Structure 1
Amino acid sequence: MESVRAVADWPVDNAAVAVVAAADGRVLGSTGPQAREFRLASVTKLLTAYATLVAIEEGAVEWDQPAGPEGSTVRHLISHVSGLAFDEHKALARPGTRRMYSNAGFEVLADTVHEASGIPFAEYLTEAVLAPLGMESSRLAGTAGAGGVSTCADLVRFAAEVQHPTLVSETTLDEATSVAFPGLSGVLPGFGHQKDNDWGLGFEIRDHKSPHWTGKNSSPRTFGHFGQSGTFLWVDPDAGVACVALTDRDFGQWAVDTWPAFTDAVLADL
């Protein structure tokens, strides 16, 4: 793919990128060190969310189970409306009233799954998601919100999974990639205030956000996440494709300038 070859022009020392077809999980184009380990930063939240979906289906936890600040539930935590601060276990708003992106909320979410299952969350994530998908080079080395380590080759497997789920039902995945608590405003980190800062159950949803880290031509149903370590994973259901990108340069203006145009080039290549 011409779009993937253009990654060589990104202002990074190392980048591993792959485009994954929805139909069969086939890699349509790739570049860079596919087996190299990278820090995921907030792309970790996709893995944490998926482990939570497994826990929901296993009956270990329930969406409306109280967790976090008073009035908050598992559903509030995973969709960033619990009211918890970004990196502090401190409530700044009533649950369900504002979309406040929160690493602390994902820490509480992981603790809730741990307490309910009796298994430390890093182990639960491995047993529920990483091992079944053959993601042997992936692990949770830090917090459940930002401490993941993985490779492009492993995330290709995850990208295939979230296009055709095998570990959870399609109904559960559909709910997770649909807007939870619609109509809430908030800040999309790195891209400013959004009137409708739509999020699913752990998956950020593009909808009509502007500016955004995906492309102008990405469908509103596009979902995924990006990380401050210069990483992203998006899935565009309407285009039938997903894309993984891992780099060794922290997110900054270079990513704001590069990623949307790259995404549109990938879609144009299909």
Structure 2
Amino acid sequence: MSRRLISLILSFILILGIPFNALSEAGSKIQIILDEEVVELENNAFLNQDGKLMYPLRDLAEKLGYSITWNGNQNITFSNENSNIQVNIGKSIIVLDQKEIDLETNIIAVNGKTFVPLSFLSDALDLVVGWDTKTQSLRINQIKKNNEDYFQSYVGVNNELNNYMELLHKYENFNGSILIAKKGDVILDKGYGFADIDQNIKNKTQTRFAIGSVTKQFTAMAIMQLDEKQMLNIEDKILKYLPDFPNGDGITIHNLLTHTSGLVNYTELPEFYALESEDPKVEDVLNLIKDKPLEFEPGTQFKYCNTGYALLSEIIEKVSGVTFEEYLHENIFRPLNMKDTGVCYGKNKEIHHATAYSGHLDLIPVDDEILLSQAYGAGNMYSTVEDLYRWDRALDTEQLVKKESLDRIFKGYIDMQGMGDYGYGWLIRDTELGKEIFHTGGTLGFSANIARYIDEDLTVIVLTNKSGYDTMSLAYTLASITLGKEYTTPEPIKEIEIKDKALYDNYVGEYVIFPGFTITITAEEGKIYAMVTGQDKYEIFPESEESYFYKIVKAKITFVKGEDGKVTSLILDQNGQNLTGIKMK
């Protein structure tokens, strides 16, 4: 059920005059998970008339070791050895260690019990909080101590890096978590923006995000572990492990690892998104492509293909005798103390904390379950920036595999046509900052990147609950700041008012970028819209009389005029690329 629908239902409840305590009963199905354990509350959490989840404070405060003092006049103090929190019933302002914080939702009392919004748990109690509207479940985790040596060398927040990220959140609506470390010193480890915008839940350093194709490097590591144990061989044909798979006698494990198999990419097929996700099986997605011809002879070309890594996770299960999820936990996550990393919608139905969003300046919550539950070894993991840093540190050791295997993982095997080379689950390229080994990840509502600048022993980890975010450029900019290189500071986009809307008439028309890719500009009721071939139309907003920006994606359109003042073309600026569209007469 959507947040908006829940809010409407609750509005009708209030209008009809149902007693307020009945609202508490309406929330009886909300599941509370505290530090991975389902807990029963003496008083139920519930959604208020604005769709904000209200939580019974005493139940949680006592579990966390706070002492509670009723001061009269609707004033309550919660305190422990580390902090003091003053709360006033009926107000949204609290005082945390003499600092005022506005929760933006009033604290209330119901039947003599104090209820707080989730922003209190996030801001005042410094808890990692995740609210899943679809399953009506609330996940709460206490911040874990990082005991490893490489976390102890924290040198404090780098002001320049932090300022950049604050501006990025302010001007470009960045929501996510960042970790940057150089030569074993953690320079920045911080959450920005919101894990859930509607509930005002803040992102933390231990907020869990889906990481999409960053999963592939873990799948590749599992394969290399099995190769070292001689349980398989990289050059084996996949027919050895999947006897009934078409063309299995011509495709090797190496081909799957390097995207040179020639197989059709199943996540590009429309029928993939029509699959049932109730009881997903890897066979279901593989059946979508099994009977389709190869796109090229294995080993002759590079084409990014999620099918290959789904097959690799199937091979891992066949060889190891356990599920892909169990293998990762026992052989990678557990040895590296990656307690906040797992498989989305796996055995225990674990998911990320952060709500998935699509958009840019305007964000829309999206359902990512179909993709995440059926991405398998190609992209079904969630993690945190801190757990990925544990992974990063292990890659400089022989804790998981020997150096010879690591060298094979980070070797470039095939040219990606200007993007560098592809190894086993990693991209390798030369930059002005030195050699970079990285991999991005993207799902319907998340974007991720882990970038390792080898020459500088510099690691940048970016996780965000926004789809389509250019994490590769962001990681490179943050690395540039760290190394004292030049960079561009985020600036606000200022929307201007177009007083004479007749201006838009000159822009209306079709613009051909290339055959099959057209942008259609229309004007309706004083507003201007752009529609790309095969997509919905979206309003664009004037930055100047010639330049317009989207709010749904990070992109701009600039109209170009001829000497006679008539528009001849437009320029689409997106992801650092400028595409010219010629106006059709």
Give the TM-score normalised by the residue count of structure 1: 0.83
Question: What is the CA-CA distance between 1:256 and the residue it aligns to?
Answer: 6.3
Structure 1 residue runs of 4+, over 4 Å off? 254-257
User: Contact 2:256 / 2:308 at 8 angstroms: preserved in 1?
Assistant: yes
Alignment of 1:166-181 (within 5 A): 166-180=399-413
In structure 2, how many angstroms separate the alpha carbons of the residues matched to 1:266 and 1:28? 9
* CA contact 2:458–2:479 (8 Å) conserved in 1: no
Aligned residue number for residue 220 of structure 2: 49
What is the CA–CA distance in structure 2 between the aligned matches of 1:82 and 1:44, rounded to whole Å? 19
Partner of 2:303: 100
Whichever residue aligns with residue 59 of structure 1, its letter is Q
Alpha-carbon separation, structure 1, partners of 2:472 and 2:403 = 32
Aligned residues: 247
Selected match of 2:190 from 24, 27, 31: 31
| Residue 297 of structure 2 corresponds to residue 86 of structure 1 | no
Q: Which amino acid is 2:188 matched to?
A: G
Q: Does 1:242 align with 2:459?
A: yes
1:58 CA drift (Å): 2.0
Gaps of 5+ in 1: 187-193, 208-215
Residue 116 of structure 1: which of 299, 319, 342 is its match?
319
Q: TM-score, normalising length from structure 2?
A: 0.40
Higher RCO, 1 vs 2 (CA within 8 Å, ≥6 residues apart):
1
User: Is residue 2:161 matched to residue 1:3?
Assistant: yes
| Distance change >3 Å, CA 236–CA 196, structure 1 → 2 | closer
Which deviations, in whole Å up to 9, do the C-alpha atoms of 1:35-72 show, x marking residues without a partner? 10101011111222222222221222211111274411
Tell whether the 8 Å contact from 1:179 to 1:198 is kept in structure 2 after alignment. Answer: yes
> What is the deviation of 1:12?
3.7
Conserved? CA contact 2:449–2:472, under 8 Å? no
The alpha-carbon distance between structure 1 residues 222 and 45, as it changes in their structure 2 partners (threshold 3 A), is same
Q: Residues 120 and 249 of structure 1: is their aligned pair in 2 closer, same or farther, counting only changes over 3 Å?
A: same
Higher normalized strand content (fraction of residues): 2
Q: Which residue of 2 aligns with 1:205?
A: 428
Deviation at 1:196, TM superposition (A): 6.6
Whole-angstrom distance in 1 between the partners of 2:226 and 2:432: 34
Q: Which amino acid aligns with 2:175?
A: N
Larger radius of gyration: 2
Counterpart secondary structure, 1:42: helix
Residue matched to 1:226: 440
Task: Provide the rounded CA distance (Å) in 2 between the counterparts of 1:159 and 1:76.
Answer: 25
Output the amino acid matched with 2:323.
P
From the two aligned structures, give the one with the greater helix fraction.
1
- Which stretch has the larger CA shift, 56-65 or 150-159? 56-65
1:177 deviation in Å?
A: 0.4
Aligned sequence identity (%): 25
> Using a 3 Å threshold, how does the CA distance of structure 1 residues 9 and 53 change in structure 2: closer, same or farther?
farther
For 2:189, the aligned partner's letter is: S
Cα distance change on mapping 1:140 and 1:227 into 2, 3 Å:
same
Post-superposition offset of 1:217: 2.3
Partner secondary structure for residue 52 of structure 1: helix
**CA RMSD, Structure 1 to Structure 2 (Å):** 2.1
Alpha carbons of structure 1 residues 52 and 83: separation in structure 2 relative to 1, 3 Å = same
